[in-house]
A and B are shown apart, each in its own frame.
Chain A
């Protein structure tokens, strides 16, 4: 086979390495951080001399000897946390590396690195009394968007309903990305002393990955993705950029996911196929766990804050902005109109659907306010979201 000279392509340019980043890394590990080199030297020396240490057999300072027993569910975090020395969750973390809570780690503290990004050190900023239960439940109730949905039974819908379904799924795909990115952002900042919360957030990440997957698949199986929207984007950005974990969790899990939970329930209600019913039913289960964590995390934050009233006022200030930004998503025509079409049963009956949406709106807002109240955060007098859907009020 011959190749003509004019058809030949130049070789690809060398891939640009991150010279600056690599240089900084080398500088840090070769000249700045000394401890690792000392550890390496000591280890290599012992290996060369054929000398055992066996210090790890010494149980002084260890919580050694009491064996954890599984409960009927298997070996849960609750089961191992009952053993002395393992379930003591500090109010403030002071270990900023990977040394496991309950291990013999104190003698090595000075020789260990410190990870500066572990910045969420206050238990009140992340703990919820139900987090271990929710973690176990999340693992037990995982499902598979590829296999557990009866995709082969998906029926084609009339064009208006198919497009409304696809648009709703496009919105949900967009939303579920931030619902994964938010816990991902904070997961990394949480020290491992709060490993139960990290574990739960990992399940939330998996849940949200599956949700964006299932809605993307549903849209494309029915014709395709439709419109992204600026209103969605601003609401999602406000969640991701929340200044603290508690504030962001409130905005995402209590307000945002509370509303999305209502949309999932509405989605199940208005679904036109058994496939869609199953999708929404599966998703609403996951979403309800996230909402439940959000409510009790907020409750724990408020109940344990040393300056409770000031903390509540700060949350109000945050909510004054947060509610309005979230409202940009929940007033987008690209969201409310397809829901109204599905509720009404066709594009021609969008007005009837809008009547139903007004009822749903009041329900959404009321549920949000109930959840706030349950957490000890009475938002009724200051809520900036209208209690009634203002459709056509200016007409």
Chain B
């Protein structure tokens, strides 16, 4: 019997590599996605002060069927074309991800995506119309598990401004 040495990927947050790593984990666990069901949407995760100087960074993930087809950083204009964006400041994102890591893939009660965004603060759901906003709800469990996969990563957090 041979021991298997698991290596955890080290990524910075915020970065395209972070979201690409989450996409990779999602795509490697297709069986779980098939249990959860289709997810068809273009989601943007916005760190409102992620670029320093009060500028935002946007990361777009294209979900289709059971996979994350693409994860990349985009500019402000492209962010508007997504179905919805989930926007929060760096401190909020870091706090949520740390909670997920500590909870081994399960965020604290106060740190779920819906919990953080429901009242419009500290995260905000931004969508062009109610039907697009509803996509965030229709796929909420899948999106939560997409983010929960951060527990499998070694994350180097940027310092909140």
Which A residues have a C-beta under 8 Å from some C-beta of B?
Answer: 72-73, 133, 136-137, 140-142, 261, 265-266, 268-269, 271-274, 277, 281-282, 284-285, 287-289, 291-292, 295-296, 356, 359-360, 363, 367, 370-371, 374
0/1 string, B69-106, CB within 8 A of A gives 1 = 00000000000000000000000000000000000001
CB atoms of A295 and B130 under 8 A apart: yes
Tell me, yes or no, whether B38 is within 8 Å of chain A by CB: yes
CB-CB under 8 A from A291, the residues of chain B are 134
By a CB distance below 8 angstroms, the chain B residues around A274 are 106, 109
* B88-142 interface with A by 8 A CB criterion: 106, 109, 112, 114-115, 118-120, 129-131, 134-135, 137-141
Q: Is the CB of B109 within 8 A of A272?
A: yes
**Bound form: Cα–Cα A107–B64 in Å:** 44
Interchain residue pairs A-B with the least CB separation, the first 10: A141-B37, A140-B37, A288-B137, A288-B138, A269-B118, A140-B38, A288-B134, A268-B114, A370-B130, A371-B130
Offer 10 A-B interface pairs, CB within 8 angstroms, sorted by A: A266-B118, A274-B109, A277-B109, A285-B138, A285-B139, A288-B134, A288-B135, A359-B119, A370-B129, A371-B130
B131 adjacent to A374 (CB under 8 Å)? yes
Residues of B within 8 A of A371 (CB): 130
Q: In whole angstroms, how far apart are the Cα atoms of A266 and B118 in the complex?
A: 7
B contact residues, total (Cβ < 8 Å): 24
Assuming the contacts A137-B37, A296-B131, asked whether A268 and B118 have C-beta atoms less than 8 A apart, the reply is yes
Report B-chain residues with C-beta under 8 Å of the C-beta of A137: 37-38, 40, 138
| List of A residues within 8 angstroms of B129 by Cβ | 370, 374
Contact of A281 among B37, B65, B134, B140 (CB under 8 A): B140
Residues on A with C-beta less than 8 A from B40 are: 133, 137
B31 at the interface (CB under 8 A from A): no
- For the complex formed, measure the closest distance between the CB of B59 and the CB atoms of chain A, giving whole angstroms: 23
Which of B106, B115, B119, B140 makes the CB contact (< 8 A) with A285? B140
By the criterion CB–CB under 8 Å, are A269 and B138 in contact?
Answer: no
Report the nearest A residue to B119, measured CB to CB.
A359
List residues of chain B with CB within 8 A of the CB of A136.
Answer: 38
Which listed residue (A141, A271, A292, A356) contacts B134, Cβ 8 A?
A292
* B27 in the interface (beta carbon within 8 A): no
* Beyond A268-B118, A281-B141, A296-B131, 6 extra complex contacts between A and B, CB < 8 Å: A72-B65, A73-B65, A141-B36, A284-B137, A288-B134, A370-B129
**Are A269 and B119 in contact, with the CB atoms below 8 A?**
yes
Q: Does B15 contact A (CB under 8 A)?
A: no
Q: Which A residues touch B115, using CB under 8 A?
A: 268-269
Among B38, B131, B140, B144, the residue within 8 A (CB) of A73 is B38
Point out the residues of chain B lying under 8 angstroms from A140, CB to CB.
37-38
How far, in Å, is A155 (CB) from chain B's closest CB?
11
Min Cβ gap B120→A in Å is 8
A265 and B114 contacting across the interface, CB-CB below 8 Å:
yes
A136 to B138, CA, bound (A): 13
The chain B residue sitting closest to A356, CB to CB, is B119
Considering the chains assembled together, what is the distance between the CA atoms of A356 and B130 in angstroms? Answer: 22
Give the residue of A73, A133, A261, A356 whose beta carbon is less than 8 angstroms from that of B137. Answer: A261
Shortest B86–chain A CB gap in Å is 14
> In the assembly, what is the distance between CA of A269 and CA of B115, in Å?
4
Residue of chain A at shortest CB distance from B120: A363
> Chain A residues near B120 (CB, 8 Å)?
363
Determine which residue in B38, B114, B130, B139 has the highest number of CB atoms from chain A within 10 A of its CB, and name it.
B130
Are B141 and A282 in contact, with the CB atoms below 8 A?
yes
Q: What residue of chain B has the Cβ atom nearest to residue A136's Cβ?
A: B38
- The CA-CA distance from A289 to B141 in the complex, in Å, is 14
What separation, in Å, do the CA atoms of A342 and B118 have in the docked complex? 15
In the bound assembly, the distance between CA atoms of A266 and B112 in angstroms comes to 12
Q: In the bound complex, what is the Cα–Cα distance between A25 and B135 (angstroms)? A: 49
State the Cβ distance, A295 to closest chain B Cβ, in Å.
6
Of the listed residues A274, A281, A360, the one surrounded by the most CB atoms of chain B closer than 10 A to its CB is A281
B138 nearest CB across to chain A (Å)? 4
